[in-house]
Every structure is written in structure tokens, then in C-alpha cells.
Structure 1
Amino acid sequence: MSCLFKKVLLSSAIFVSLSFGQVIQKVEIMGAKYVPDEVIKALIKAREGLTYTPDLVREDIRRLYRTGFFDRVEVYEERKDGGVILYYDVVDLPIIYKIEFTGNRKIKSEDLEKKIGIETEVGKIDVEELTKGYTSSPAIEEKVEIQRKLKLGRVLSREEMEYIKRKIVEAYAKEGYPNVKVDYELVPKKGASKIVYHIFEGSPEYVSSIHFKGNKTFRAGKLLDHMETKPPSLLALRLRPPFSEDVLKDDMTRLRDFYVSEGFLDAKVSYKIEKKDAKYSIEIDIDEGKRYKLESLKIEGNTLFSYDELVGAFLKKNKGGYYREEVIDQIISNIKRQYSTIGFLNVSVVKDEKIDSEGKKVSLTLKVNEGEPVYIDRVQVRGNYESRDYVIRREMRVQEGELANEREIERSRTRIFNLGYYEDVSIEPLPSEGRRWDLEVKVRERFTGQFSVGLGYNQVTKVAGFVSVRKGNFLGTGDIAGISVSYGSNYKDNSLSYTKKWFLNKPMDLTGSLYDRRIDYTTYTVSRTGLDFILSRELAEFWRVSGGFSIQRVRYSNISSDASAAIRQEAGTRQSRKLLFGITRDTRDNYLFPTKGALTELSYSVAVPVLGGTERFNKVTLSHQMFMKDTLFDTGLILSLKGVVGMAEPYGGKTVPLDERFFVGGDFTIRGYKYGYAGPLDPNTNDPIGASRELILSAELNYPIYKNILYGAVFYDTGLGANSWKDFKPQNFREGFGVGIRFITPFAPIKLDWAFKTKKVPGDTSRSKLHFVLGVFF
């Protein structure tokens, strides 16, 4: 071949040719194993019939290299019959569309994928992700072009293949398999290939015991919290914890960092291991040294806030006056928080430590660079593929040109999230050199328009299945449209509703709903068919007022012969016409599971004798809930307090209908009691007959067990339902207490409580009761 061809260009060598003006007769692709020839031909500019020039070939070589799919590109020419034949000789890299694992029994393939940090199977190429962070350029355009033509995968170099192999070995070492062997093979295919990693796990090695020596200040359990290596534990179902010396070395670093953060600046940590068979006994030797005291704390550069405002009570919480990084970090966070509330988002704090090794003391100066106030230049909304921009922007409490107030930014995030249309909402300032920053609002939308099938449960309705077509954020406008069909053994709720958000382009919501509901109680059935219209308006940032009317037909049926007289007198059908009023103040940070803020609600309804209405009564309810998160010790504990008081009074010689009375006791009032059994009972049948007065007080403490998903709870409820305020004496109150768990899902929270009552009542003599609620609680 060398006698026929003249080598024109190799890699970046200078192209030399005497073939100016000749026509390209043919273009041949040589050596390509993975990238199809037609894809390469589509990328280069050389074509049959074009005039041959050195610049044309130079540009082709650059273009192929820029794609990143080729390890070597050489072009040869052959002059024949007054024309030129070009040969593009390439060494291409494999384009991997799939990575497979074999022999992995201990670690599942999907877990390996997460540990290694790779995607093992390629789906649709995300061109936006491919070009993210880059401005348009020939290299990017060519890479996008070849990705589109190939439709699968990406190039993996040999170095990357070896890197994946090392990561597999590291993942197994952390699981206690230090003798793992990994080989891989490339299964080539024109256009896209796959790589298969063959894993030979070997024998596992375990931790048999961990002993600490020299730890005088912190107990072993506290130190283990900072270690990934763990001892066997039957309670934690950790019978054979894996051993990895690499992980153990990292644990030693974490332990020393922990001691330093607690003021033991000279602490030393070492370990010894003893192996017997495949089990390791670990002894950790700790030399704590002297604990350093915080001798003084100064703040410099602060002109807008006083020392006390910036330090707050954090130093008072620092028991013993030791030099603890946690306390210092809390003070620095407080400084930044204080300045951010007045728009100084670019404030910075530098620590200047003077360590007295002999006296075991630290003098600390926090140097504050206040910067300048920041104003919002543009508000950019991202991720709203369905929602229109104005649905999000109208909930913002800071707009273009205004001061970038961190408190208002956080309030904006809460308002957008509480719309219920988004799984996640973040608002991030985008710093720039000047005083005008952009705000980037990122949302991740929920599936708000979908056909849903599911189950619900509470003590009254029991298990109920539902089928619903609900469109939150209807047509991206923020409106809510829905039709729902729910059936259960004791329950029916069919409804059609529509909520017009920002009615008349004002902060008002107009909701209309048509419904047909039925609840089967033990001795009777209540059915309601009706139409409601409610108009609510936002008065101020946290305040909303509402008004409307309800037209209902109420029917009592299936009344058993042994039902109480109060129930029997309700038999038949009545017409209900009610005017509805309400006022709400809501400062909660999250409507699904609040951690701070409060919710106050005052509702008033009056049944009026118009349009055929037969009821006459007034009903008012006031409730207040508070949510507080532990900021003193930062334990994650959430305290919830709730109080409810209600009263219903008839007029015009009528009585309050049974289903409008207060039934105290059950999932949402006083746990430990059956529904209604913490109020008046029929003396003959012991059935609950409802009360015209109610008072309920509840306290609940939630502790995060796993991230912000699973919580443990303890609670206490007390209160009473009665027909006279004179009956509300402490000795008459019903009380319930117990423990529970809370599982917070993106769709609906789940609550399970085991509650104990303090007083048994006729008809409800069990000592305890399980309460299960799927949906909103507390």
C-alpha cells in the first residue's frame, strides 16, 4: 500500500500537497470498529465532486478529533486519472450503550451503579444536559450531531474502564470483601457496544468487636455515631458487619475531627486490629489531651448589628466555655442570617484563631465583611414545563428591583411549595460582581393531572377505595379541577369540583363543588347531596378570609331498632341551607408536615330558613396549632401543640342536627377513645350522640428517625365534649397518651398511633387503641 499512497497528514502534522485544483473522486473510511462509516462521512466536509484543498482535509481532521470519539485520525491521498481519492484511516473508541455486571450476589447491580456513580444503560440522549455549562461552539455542535446520529451511549476510554473496575473493588472492600477480583470484556458492535464486568466476590470478612481505650469525655456509643465501621448488634439486626481497613482509616480521621471540633485540639487517635479466621477485633486508642477553652470572642467590622445581636444566646448554651466548632458555626450562621434579612447576601465572615498551646486556650476574632445591599435584577423560573410563569411569580414576595431579603425569599419558597403542585422548590441567588443579582427559582413538578386509584383509612370511614381524575394546576393556570369517586364498606364520596385561583386577577380563590356523600355508622347511615360555593381572599401575607354558602339535602336512614332516641328522631330527610364564614392565619413552613409556624382557623356557619331550608342553628369553631423545631440543641425534635374550642346553638325552637354536633374522641381529637366516646353517650345504648360544646388540647413530639421521611412520636391529648360549659371540669376530662410513627411521602403522610386512655367509658372499655390515618394529620 505504501507504494500507492502518499501519507499526507498524521495527527497534527502539517499537511503538504501538490494536488490543488483536483476533484475528489472518492472518499473511503478505514479502520472504524465502532462508529458507523456513514456517521463519519456525514461529519466530514470532503465529498465526491468537490475541489480538493489541504484546508478542507485539515478541517475534517479537526472536526473528527473534536467529537472525542477518535483516538487517532490519519488521511491518505491517492492521485488517479487527474483526480484524488481520500482515505480516512481512524482508530475509534468504543461507544458504550450498556454496562453489565455478572457474579455480583452481595451487591445488586442497581446498588453498584449508585456506588460507582454511573448509568449502566443509556436511554434517550439529553442534549440539554450534554451541552450544559458550555456556550455554542464547533466542538459542542459536532458532539451533539454525532450523539444524535448514533442515538446510543458515549465513549469510554480504557482509563475509564479501569476506573470503573477500581470503583467496583472499592465498593466491595467497603462491604467486607477485600479479596474481590474483577475482570471485564468489551462486546463490540458496530454503532454501539457493551462492556461486561465479571465479579468474583471471594470470601467476606467481618468485625467481631470494637473496643475504645482512653475515651474519658465521650461514651463509646457517641464515638460509634461518627464511624462507618460498626460492631455486631442484635438490636440493629447487624449480625455480621463488614470489615474494611480503608474504611477504618477514614473512621480514625472522622473521630479525630470530632474531638477537634469539641475543643480537643491535640487529640490523637490510633487503632490495632487482630484477625482470627475471617473476623477482626478492633481496639481504638484515644489520647484526648487537654480540652481548650474559648478565652474570648471578638467581632470586628460589624457596623449594622451589635455584638449581642450577632452572638445571641449561643455562648450561654456553650457549657463549660470550651472551644467548640459547632457553637462557632452557629454564631457565623446567625451573623449571615441577620445580614441576609436586610439584603446583605454577600456578607462574609473570616475566623482568626489565636491558639495558646500552653494555656490550652483559644482567642477568636470573627472578621465581618458586610459588603453592600443586594438588589434583584431578574427572577428566572426553571423546571415549570407545565406551569405558566405567572403561577409561580404571583406567589413571590420579592420581585425585580427590590432588596434581596432572605426572609422574603424563604417565604416565597414556602408559598410556592404550599400550592401543592411541586415536589421540590428552591430559590437561589445568583451572585454577580455588582449589587444586582438574579434569583433562580427551580421547581420540580408533581404529576398533578392523572388518573389515581388508591386507598384511604381512618376510624370513621374505615378502609375506602377511591378513583379520581384530578387536575391540579389545570392547563398550567394554577386552577384545580377534579372528579372523584370513593367507595368503602362504610363510606361513599363522589364529587365534582373546580377552583379558580386568583379570581378576577386578584388574590382570591373561587371554589365550586357538587357532591354526594354517605357514611355508615354502627346504628345509622347519613347521606348528603349538595352544592357549595366558597370565595376566599388573601387579606395580608399570612391572613385569608372566606365566605360562601352550602345547599344540602341530608338523609338519615338504615336506623337500627336499638339505636338511641337522639338518632331515631333524626330519621328522614331535611333541607340544609348554610352561610359559611371563615378567617385563617397560616405561617406554617410546610402544609404536609410542618416544622415551624402556626395555623389559626376561625369558622362560623349559620343555618338559615331560606330556599326551603329547615335547619336553624349557629356553629363556631376556633382552632390554633403551633409547630416548633428544636434550635437550642439541634436535635431535630418537632413540638406540635393544638387547641380547639367549639360551640353549636340552635334558634327558633329547633335543635342542632346530630351530624352538626361535635363528636370528641378518635383519630383527630382524643386518641385512645373510639369516635365520639369522649363526649355525651346515650344512657340506654351507650352510643355517642354528639355534643354542643367541645374543648380539645393536644401535644405531640416528633423525632426524626430516618432523614425527613420517618419520625417517631409521643403524644398527649385531653379534652371533652359536653352540652354545658359547666361540665368542663378537670375531673371530667378524657385523656389519651401514647407513641406512634409518621411516614412522610410526597403524596400523603401516614400515621400510626398506639394510644392509651386514662378513663374507661361505657361502650369503650378497652385499655388502648390503634389509630391509623392515611392523609393529613394533627
Structure 2
Amino acid sequence: MRRIVLLLLVSFGWLFAQRVEGVKIEGALYVPEDVIRGLIKVKEGMSYDPFAVREDIRRLYRTGFFESVEVYEEKLGDKVFLTYKVKDLPVIYKIEFRGNKKIKSDELEKKIGIETEVGKIDVEELTRQFTSSPAIEEKVEVQRRLKLGRVLSQEEMETIKNRIIQAYEREGYPNVQVSYELVPKKGASKLVYNIIEGEPEYVASVEIKGNKSFRKGRLLNLMETKPPSLLAFRLKPPFSEELLKEDIKRIEEFYRSEGFLEAKVSYRVEKEKNRYRIFIEVQEGPRYKLKAVKLEGNTYFSSRELIGNLLKKNKGGFYRDEVIKNIIKNIRDQYTQIGFLGVSVDREERRDNQKKEVEVVLRISEGEPFYVGRIEVRGNYETRDYVIRREMRVQEGDLINQRELERSRTRIFNLGYYEDVSIEPSSVEGNKLDLETRVRERFTGQFSVGLGYNQVTKLSGFISLRKGNFLGTGDIASISVSYGSKIKDNALSYTKKWFLNLPIDLSGSVYDRRIEYTTYTVGRTGLDLIISREISEFWRISGGISFQRVKYSNISPNASPIILQEAGERQSRKFIFGVSRDTRDNYLFPTKGSLTEIGYSVAVPVLGGTERFNKINLSHQTFLKDPFFDTDLILAFKGVLGVVEPYSRKTVPLDERFFVGGDFTIRGYKYGYAGPLDPNTSDPIGAKRQIILSAEANYPLYKNILYGALFYDTGLGFDKTSELKLQNLKGGYGVGVRFITPFAPIKLDWAFKTKKVPGDTSRSRIHFVLGFFF
């Protein structure tokens, strides 16, 4: 035993007596030698340790920059010479396309799914995103030294080549040739793909036969292969047989989803030079009925609750895949409302080929309810956490409710401080589910210069210093100066959110405003103090006071007597009250929900007030997505009622009357021309009562940014109830576009009036609004 120990000691002593005399790097084409030397720990002059060499090999492999690493040793007495032979992978800093004319480089980049310009790596961002580990630290070290690009293997380069070929084939270029070359440099290389596009091939025609249940247009809408069309500016649609095969499969799947479970679709093509005639043959076969939908495993809900009336909407009782998917979606929605986020539904279809019926069995695995673990707030570089957390409808320890999560997101987004808000599960431990609330902040503190426009104020410019989310507290402070040919609006305001740590907003503003109408100018200088409180999830009440000095000037001698009597200055002292219920999903452009508002103001003879009137305004707006055909159509309906009456033998001030007609009431008319007019001058003089009804349909033309619109408005401004007759109602209808930006929506309408009135005899009118609408 002593001999063995002694032998081991002698061996280790001899081992550690060996010194590393030299370290060579061979085979590196792309990664600089100094980078490799910086990664390996064995250096000249150190005691030789084979375990340290093995660790160097592992370290180099972990970077992902080497295909192979081998170390050779040469011993001369107590000296060891090491040679690190590596086969490194190219670090690509740029991918370049040459010869591509049909598909632009940026389009090709999207089609193949790869970035072509990498540029400098943000190492700090890498270290923020990943938890520290030896592999990550070594990769970051290489990135820090190289500072450019990504590593691509030979297989990945070939994959990119094949994707380019596929992209061209789908564009009708089946004979495209693609090759690539590597322009190597130490540290970073350029990968160049040379493309010879070849001659294109086109679709000459598409004929479909055998389709009895669905028209040809419906089937063509399923296809990416299209026939020529002058109306669609599709003169030479590309032909791709791979794409056509996918289209045929898509049509077959569509027939099966509609109950034609034995449907078969085939095709043939005839080529004439570089054009193809396509013939599609449909064999529909019998249409299967939906015999029944049975649910199993549901203990918290009855089958009737989970299926609802979805089967009643199934016209003809045929088997439709969409109906089953809607039932499954309804099942998941119902369970997620009570915290069962892990619910799963297995689907089994039992087909009776003789009776041509399908029975569907849905097996529900309810799982267990989930509770909120931790809530992490991310992306709020300016906003304090509590500003976001106080809008959350779920807190740590609560049962997770999908409806409350959606409501939380809506409330946070509607603060107006964020471009995007998401609430997603981050990790699971038992029945605890951690949530990550991630926001992308927009610029809320800004000095802005811009333009605004509507029918009353015309074009106006503004300079605004506004700080939403002031000091990250959610408060709003602003000072603005607006001037235009018809308007002046200077204001200073501050809103304290969650006053006294309660859901109370306290707002104060001072202002100096002037609007120039056709025959007069009205100016208001004043102070408003408003306090509002959220009394339940959707309901809010408000109250406040308003002190104003009102002045009428520049009155035309030809103006209406009602306007002439307003000349001069008066003092207004008002108490203001309001109740609102807001369930809209988006304050900029709602797609669902409603907004109900009741406003009441009374002018009183206190502190020098000279006005005496009561004014009440009721309005309701409803927004919903198409409930009938499940399209992306957004329907909006609005109703407004208003009454203002004087007391103590006073008259209603002109600017407190209702001016019906214009951008925000009945389109097609000039401002105020759908209400009372002066019989001598045909000027609008405002009404003591108003009723307005509007309906609008918006359809997305491009993502959720550009919408087309159809609308109809009707209503009347009147003084006496006896004037409210069907034949007196004014109406406007037309088309428009909506452009939704993160800052303010833009609306352009072309409206036609149903009745011409004195002073406004044009058939139609263009309405342009920059800012909130409807």
C-alpha cells in the first residue's frame, strides 16, 4: 500500500513538473486567433494539466463557433508543446442578394425568414436577457470580441438557398438558379447569394367543375393561385404547381369542414408556352348531418351551458367543423373564467357512412384551478409599478379569471401611456401561476408642434408641452397654446390620479379660448375644478364647478337678432355633475363595449354669475364585431338626447344651445344647419333640444390601421316638442376612411344630406377630423 501511494506521489510530482512551453492555434479561418487565445485558459509558462486542456476544449465547443476542436501535445523532457487545431464556422455579418429583380431584397428577407443585416451585437442586452452560465458567458465573450454577426453552418446556408428557390417558385419562377459564395474575413464574413431568375410562368385561366354547393368565387377565395383579372389589376398571375397542390388540398379540406366528408378534388394543367390553363374537378359526394354533440368529463358546467345556442345557429343541421370549433372555444372560455386555465378538450368523431351522419364526442379534462402567484411588471422604465398594479383586476393569491385579465389589460392600455400591453403566464409552480405584465411605453412627456382640423375650428396649429404619466405617477400635467384662423385655445391643466390613494381623479384647469364663427366671435376665460370617482368596475361619477367670463365680439350687423342680443360680456358660474359607464376595449378605436354618459349642468347666480339655465345631455354608444356572419366588420351605434332650459325669466346663452349638423352630429350638413335657422339670415341659432341617432360600419382594409366606413346619421335640433316630427328629421349618409395612429385617429367622410336647407344647399360635403371621433 505504501508503495502505491509513493508511486502516485512520484507520478503527480513528475506531471506538475512539466511546463507548457508553447501554444499554437491552427485551422482558424474566421475567428481571430487572439479571440481563441482569450478563451483558452492554458498559457505558456503554466504547469501542464491535461484536465485544464479538456476544459478548454469544452469551453470552445460551448461557444457554438467551432465545428471541431482537437488538441495535440508534444513533449520534450519536462516541456510540453500544445497545438489547438480548430475548424471554425463563418461569422456572417451580412447576407447579400444579387440578380434578384422580381423579388426585392427586403421582400426576400421576409419570405425566407432571416435578417440580412446584423450589425453590432448589443452584448449588454444579451446579458440582460439570459441567466448567467458558463456557456452564455463564453458566447458573450466571443461576441464582445467579434462584435459582428452570427454563425451559420453549411446546412443553414443550404437551407437559405432552398428557401430562396421556394420563394421564387411561388412567384411563378420554377427555373430559378441560386448559388452562394462566402467572402471570408477574419472576424466577420459576407454571404452572397447569386440568383438567376429565369423566365416566369403565368396562369392563363382557372376552370372549376362539379361544384354544386358553393359558387366558383367562394372556392377561388380559398386559393392563392388566381386567374387573370382586369378589375383586380392581376394581368399576369404567377403559376406555381406547388402552390396549386396546396390550393387543391385547401379546397378539399374546406368541403370536408362543411360536411362533405367524401369529397375529392383533382386538377390537371395544360401548358401553352409559358402560360397554364388550370382545370379543377370537384366530386362533392353526400353531405353528412350532425347527429349529436356529446360532452364527457364536465362536472362544473352542464352540457347545455357549454354548448349554448351554437347548435341552433347551425343551419340545416349539417356537420360543420366551424360549429365544433366554436363549441370547443366556448368550453375553454367558460372554464378559464373560473380559473381552469389548463382545461383540455379531446375530440372524437363517430361517422355513420350508411346514414351519412356524424356524432361528435368532446372529452373534457378539467384539471385544477390556478391562482395568481407573483405578478411581475416589465417594460415600465418610466412608470412606477403601482400605477400599473392598481389597474390590475387580479392580485397575488386571487383565482385567475380570464375575463379579469382581459379587463386589466384594457384598463392599463386606456391610461394612454402605452403603445402595447400584454399579460402572460411566466411560470407555473403547483397550482400557482406567475403573471408577467409587460408594457411598451410611448412618449408621454413631449414638446409637440402639430395641426388639428374640424369643421368648426378649421385648420389650427398648436404648441403643447404635455407630460402624461408625470414623474411616473400616472398624473397628467400640460400647458398648450393653439392658434388658427378660427380658434385660439391656451390652457394649463393638471390631473391628480388616484387622489388620497383612492380611485379618484382631481383635475384643475385654467384656459383662455376663442372661436370665430361666421357672424360672431365668442371667447371664454375660466377656471374648472372637477373631481371624479370610480364607484364600480365600469361606473364613474363626477362633480365640479366652472367659473367663466364669456364675451361676444365681432358680431356682424347682419347677424341674427338672437346673436345680436348676446353682444358684450357676462359671467358664468356652473355646477357640473356627471355619471358614465365605460366598457370599451380601446379608447382610440373601440371594437366592442359601450359608453354611456349622463351630464347635467346648472348655471347659478353666485359670485357674480349672470346666467340661469339647466342643461342635461344623455348619450350612449355601442360597439360590436359582426355578430351575424363572423367577419371583421365593426358596428357602431350612437344615440344622443339633450335639453337646455332657462329659469328666472332668462334666456339660454347662445353657446349653451345645441348646434346639430356637422362632423360630430349629422354629417352632410354644415355646423348647426340641421337645427333652427334665423328666417332672415339663414344662420344657425342653436336649439334647446336635440336628438341624434347614428350607425356606422367599419371594415379593416389594412391590418388594424386603415378602415373603410359606411354610415348613416339622422336627427334634429329643435325648440319645441311639437317640432319633432318624422318629416322634419334631417339625415346624412356616406362613405369614409379611418386611419388609426397611436397618437390620434384621422377620419375622412364623404356625406350626402337627405334634405337641403337654406344656407346649405350643397348635395354633399366632405368631413375631415383629426382627433377623436364618433
State TM-score, norm by structure 2: 0.94
Matches within 5 A, 1:208-607: 208-429=204-425, 432=428, 434-607=430-603
> How far apart in 2 are the matches of 1:244 and 1:483?
60
Q: Any idea what the Cα deviations from partners look like across 1:288-337, whole Å, max 9, x if unmatched?
A: 11111111222222222222211111111111111101001111111121
Q: CA deviation at 1:282?
A: 1.0
Distance 1:494 1:35 in 2: 62
List per-residue Cα deviations over 1:113-147 (Å, max 9, x = no partner). 11111111124535587579975432222112211
Between 735-744 and 677-686, report the one with greater CA deviation: 735-744
Aligned residue identity for 1:120: T
Q: Which moved more, 1:730-739 or 1:442-451?
A: 442-451
Amino acid in the other structure paired with 1:314: L
Name the CA distance, whole Å, in 1 between partners of 2:352 and 2:145: 66
The aligned residue for residue 3 of structure 1 is: none
1:150 aligns with 2:174: no
The reply to whether residue 645 of structure 1 matches residue 609 of structure 2 is no
Q: 1:48 aligns with which of 44, 47, 54?
A: 44
> Aligned with 2:641: secondary structure?
strand
Amino acid at match of 1:482: S
Partner of 2:368, secondary structure, is coil
Would you say the 8 A contact 1:17–1:54 is kept in 2? no
Matching residue of 1:755: 751
Contact 2:120-2:149 at 8 Å conserved across structures: no
Letter aligned with residue 569 of structure 1: Q
Distance 2:490 2:15 in 1: 83
Listed as ranges, the matches of 1:73-84 within 5 Å are 73-77=69-73, 83-84=79-80
In the alignment, structure 1 residue 59 sits paired with structure 2 residue 55: yes
CA distance in 2, matches of 1:469, 1:276: 67
Matched residue SS, 1:404: coil
Equivalent of residue 734 in structure 1, options 713, 730, 733: 730
Judge conservation of contact 2:289–2:356 (CA < 8 Å) in 1. Answer: yes
Write the distance in 2 (CA, Å) between the matches of 1:321 and 1:127.
60
Q: Which residue does the alignment assign to 2:5?
A: none
Q: Deviations over 1:221-268 (max 9, x none)?
A: 111121111112222222221111111111111111111111111111
Q: Could you tell me how far 1:426 is from its partner in structure 2?
A: 2.4
- Provide the rounded CA distance (Å) in 1 between the counterparts of 2:741 and 2:216: 34
CA distance in 1, matches of 2:534, 2:124: 40
Report the counterpart of residue 163 of structure 1 in structure 2: 159
Match of 2:187 among 191, 194, 198: 191
Cα 1:283–1:594 change in 2 (3 A) is same
Aligned to 2:655, what secondary structure does the other structure show? Answer: helix
8 Å Cα contact 1:479/1:499 also seen in 2: yes
Kindly state the Cα deviation for residue 776 of structure 1 after the two structures are TM-superposed: 1.5
- Percent identity reads 72
Per-residue CA shift, 1:643-698, capped at 9, x if unaligned?
A: 11112222344322222211100111011111100011111211111112111111
Q: Check conservation: 2:17, 2:78, Cα contact below 8 A.
A: no
**Counterpart-to-counterpart distance in 2, 1:560 and 1:335:** 68
> CA shift at 1:431, angstroms?
6.9
542-551 or 556-565, which deviates more? 556-565
**Corresponding residue number in structure 2 for 1:9:** none
Q: Which moved more, 1:453-462 or 1:110-119?
A: 453-462
Q: Tell me the alpha carbon deviations over residues 716-771 of structure 1, each in whole angstroms, 9 at most, x when there is no partner.
A: 21111122222222222111122223233333222222222111110001111122
Amino acid at match of 1:29: I
Distance 1:557 1:22, change over 3 A: farther
Residue in 2 that maps onto 1:107: 103
Give 1:350's aligned amino acid. Answer: D
Shift of 1:354: 0.9
How many angstroms apart in 1 are the aligned matches of 2:247 and 2:718? Answer: 61
Give 1:409's aligned amino acid: L
1:4 alignment counterpart: none
Deviation at 1:590, TM superposition (A): 1.6
The alpha-carbon distance between structure 1 residues 488 and 107, as it changes in their structure 2 partners (threshold 3 A), is farther
Confirm or deny: 8 A CA contact 1:582 1:604 kept in the other structure. Answer: yes
Distance 1:35 1:718 in 2: 73
Q: What's the C-alpha RMSD, in Å, of the aligned pairs?
A: 2.3
Q: Say which SS state the counterpart of residue 515 (structure 2) adopts.
A: strand
Residues 27 and 86 in structure 1, CA contact (< 8 A), matched pair in contact too: yes
Give the Cα separation in 2 of the matches to 1:73 and 1:372.
50
Distance 1:513 1:193, change over 3 A: farther
1:766 alignment partner, SS class: coil
SS of structure 2 residue aligned to 1:574: strand
Report the CA distance shift for 1:98/1:474 in structure 2 as closer, same or farther (over 3 A): farther
Question: What is the Cα deviation at residue 448 of structure 1?
Answer: 2.4
**What SS does the aligned partner of 1:498 have?**
strand
Deviation of residue 85 (structure 1)?
A: 4.2
C-alpha distance in 2, partners of 1:453/1:514?
21
Q: Within 5 Å, give how 1:681-696 maps onto structure 2.
A: 681-696=677-692
Counterparts of 1:121-132 in structure 2, within 5 Å, are 121-126=117-122
Distance in structure 1 (CA, Å) of the matches to 2:594 and 2:114: 44
- Cα distance in 2 for residues equivalent to 1:572 and 1:203: 80
SS in structure 1 of the partner of residue 704 of structure 2: coil
Q: Any idea what SS the aligned residue of 1:594 has?
A: coil
Q: Distance in 2 between matches of 1:352 and 1:146?
A: 53
1:561-610 Cα shifts (integer Å, max 9, x gaps): 33222223333333333222211111112212222221111112223334
Letter of the 1:565 partner, please give it: P
Task: Return the match for 2:19 from 11, 18, 23.
Answer: 23
| Gap change, CA 1:89 and 1:203, over 3 Å in 2 | same
SS of the aligned residue for 1:316 comes to coil
Change (3 A) 1:494 1:114: farther
Specify every segment of 5 or more residues in structure 2 that has no aligned partner in the other structure, as ranges.
1-11
The equivalent position to 2:92 in structure 1, one of 87, 93, 96, is 96
SS at match of 2:141: helix
Matched AA of 1:236: A
Which amino acid letter does the alignment assign opposite residue 334 of structure 1? N
Total equivalences in the alignment? 763
Q: Distance in 2 between matches of 1:576 and 1:124?
A: 63
Relative to structure 1, is the Cα distance of residues 454 and 68 closer, same or farther in structure 2, using a 3 angstrom cutoff? same
Q: Distance in 1 between matches of 2:522 and 2:339?
A: 56
Greater CA deviation, 539-548 or 306-315?
306-315
- How much has 1:18 moved relative to structure 2? 7.9
- Partner residue in 2 for 1:34: 30
The residue identity in structure 2 corresponding to 1:102 is R
Q: Which amino acid is the alignment partner of residue 318 of structure 2?
A: Y
Q: Residue in 2 aligned with 1:625? A: 621
Q: Encode CA deviations 1:465-522: one digit per residue, 9 max, x unaligned.
A: 3333332222322222223333333233333322221111111112222333332222
After superposing the two structures, state which structure 1 stretch, 95-104 or 755-764, moved more: 95-104
Query: How far has the Cα of 1:430 moved from its partner?
Result: 5.2
Equivalent-residue separation in structure 2 for 1:449 and 1:207 (angstroms): 55
The Cα offsets for residues 153-206 of structure 1, whole Å up to 9 and x where unpaired, read as 111112211211111111121122222222222222222222222222222222
